[in-house]
A and B are shown apart, each in its own frame.
Chain A
Amino acid sequence: MKFLVCISNVPDTTTKITFTPDNKEFNKAGVQFVINPWDEYALTRAIELKEAQGSGTVTVLNVGEADTEPNIRKALAIGADDAIRVNAAPKDAYFVAQQIAAIAKEGAYDVILMGKESIDYNGFQVHGMVGEMLGIPTVAPAMKLDMSGSTATLEREIEGGKEIVEVNTPFVASCQQPMCEPRIPNMRGIMTARTKPLKVVEPVGEGARTEVAEYALPPKKQGVKLIPAESAGDLIKLLRNEAKVI
């Protein structure tokens, strides 16, 4: 079975977010980039399923410029077999989805996995766009994925519960916890990752459909009003009479 795992290159979760002086772009200076945490579930689960099946391949796909290659190598070190990088900045979800759909179609992948969303743009869009472009089902967000032959059983999170869904390959799923325990690279993985194939291709399709005009940071808080622990009950009065939220 052929797995395609889509990863994005995002600022580490501890990053303090700042922007370029015109507020049009994220300021990358001094920022550590990581594999999007949600994508780690997709990657590890694909590797686990391949191992359980005893055959198949896991290909990792990233839409990004050359500076994303360290994290692509990391995905190879974790256990993907080969990688494809589409040589373009990820302009918007639609642009990225077109690249994934084109590669998924050309490579006839059976299972296309990605994280629920990227922690930078938080679009939660690419999964459905790829599914629609390929005319195949999408399950988002998936908390559990098991395969039996060409049939997958997934748990989809819905507000207040979950749905058990069965789909046949090919399909797209966007993954989140508690699907698996994401793996970290071991020394042997890091050594072998250096020689695994990483193919660079140029982007296809139309451009983006959305454009960021300006980024802004949330307004700063005015400062905390402290209430002595002994008179904790006064907080409730303040929440009712001053903040008017209860």
Chain B
Amino acid sequence: MSVLVVVECDNGEVKKSSLEVASYGSQVAQMLGTTATAVAVGEATEANLAKLGEQGISKVLYDAEPRLKDFVNGAYTKLIAAAAGKEDSKIIVLANSNIGASVGSRLSVRLQASLATNVVELPKANGSSFTVKRGAFSGKAFADVVLSGDRKIIAVKKNSIEALHEAGKTATVEAFSASLSDADFTDAPKQVVMQDQAGGILLPEADKVVSGGRGMKGPENWGLIEDLAKALGAATACSKPVSDVDWRPHHEHVGQTGITVSPNLYIACGISGAIQHLAGVNSSKVIVVINKDPEAPFFKAADYGIVGDVFEVLPKLTQAVKELG
């Protein structure tokens, strides 16, 4: 049996979160004394799939069926189940993405597997017991979860696992067909609409985030956030009050009822740090808080802070980043 890794691709490239998932899967395979096989979904190129060898993948299965380019829940689930059958995989690893969670939850029923989502660390396997650590209470806590049963599905939280890069190693890419029929595509999207991303960096995948709150005073001031984000190569985000009043789109809302992020660097500008917001960001590696109120609760959760006016501080930071070269 090999460990099966689900790799999401977009425009020919393997997503960053999937490089992490591949690295997770190959390390689990090593723990269990077996190999890791990937099954690729979305639009991929053979060259990029072969490069998954750098993340420890031995073999990649790829179905070039054109209708698999966009996410189709029914078809993806069938494809991955077929790949798991072919590889006799007892463990499937995927990203804790909207695609991963949609497919993983269906697969867990179809394959009678135990499912853990939002997983942040490699498993602890001890004899027959298999435990994973996952985020719970919207980032306010972690839970060690025991996955009972023979088959297991693990959805790995983005930015939790360092991707491996073993230069020069390549994976074999193998054509694979799950014999999909029209019936598997009944829930295919009628249309796919992509957002304009500032600098092309997606917030859920970003390893640096610059985020603004009510202290930014209005949507017309977001240029200051965007300038710093652009200089750093970061994604932009916001607090709930900001998306509630439509200064920014809701998909930028970070927090307990928005998205949870865990970048290497999170810069909060004019955000006081309500407990619901902290829940969405507290697994970030380094948190920087800029706020004119020295009593803002966010400072207690920060690594670095500047007590000052965002309108004066932000341009200085952007300038300093540009000077770094």
Contacts and interface: CB of A to CB of B under 8 A. Distances in A.
Interface string A29-71: 0000000011000000000000000000000000000000000
A228 to B, nearest CB: 8
B90 interface: no
Contacts of A139: 73, 187
A138 B304 contact: no
The DSSP consensus for interface residues of chain A is: mixed
A119 B146 CA distance: 20
B191 interface: yes
B257 interface: yes
A1 interface: no
A127 B304 CA distance: 40
Contacts of A143: 250
A227 B300 contact: no
B136 interface: yes
Interface residues of B, number: 97
Interface string B175-199: 0000000000011111111110100
Contacts of A19: 141
B295 interface: no
A178 to B, nearest CB: 5
Contacts of B139: 218
A239 B265 contact: yes
A141 B110 CA distance: 20
B110 A165 contact: no
Most buried by B among A159, A211, A213, A225: A159
A228 B308 CA distance: 8
Given A119-B138, A123-B117, A229-B309, A236 B320 contact: yes
Residue from B97, B106, B139, B299 whose CB has the most chain A CB atoms within 10 Å? B106
Contact of B137 (A94, A120, A222, A229): A120
Tell me the dominant secondary structure on chain B's binding face.
mixed
Contact of B108 (A129, A162, A217): A129
B145 interface: yes
B124 to A, nearest CB: 10
Contact of B250 (A133, A167, A178): A178
Given A163-B70, A240-B324, A137 B186 contact: yes
Contacts of B140: 17, 217-218
A20 interface: no
Contacts of B149: 209
Interface string A215-237: 11110011011111100111111
B141 A216 contact: yes
Interface of B: 10, 15, 70-71, 73-74, 77, 96-99, 101-106, 108-110, 113-118, 131, 135-149, 186-195, 197, 202, 204-205, 208, 232, 250-251, 253, 256-257, 260, 264-265, 274-276, 279, 282-283, 285-289, 299-309, 312-313, 316-317, 319-321, 323-324
20 contacts: A13-B257, A14-B276, A15-B275, A38-B257, A120-B137, A120-B138, A122-B137, A122-B260, A129-B106, A132-B105, A132-B106, A158-B99, A159-B97, A165-B190, A177-B253, A217-B141, A225-B304, A227-B304, A236-B324, A246-B232
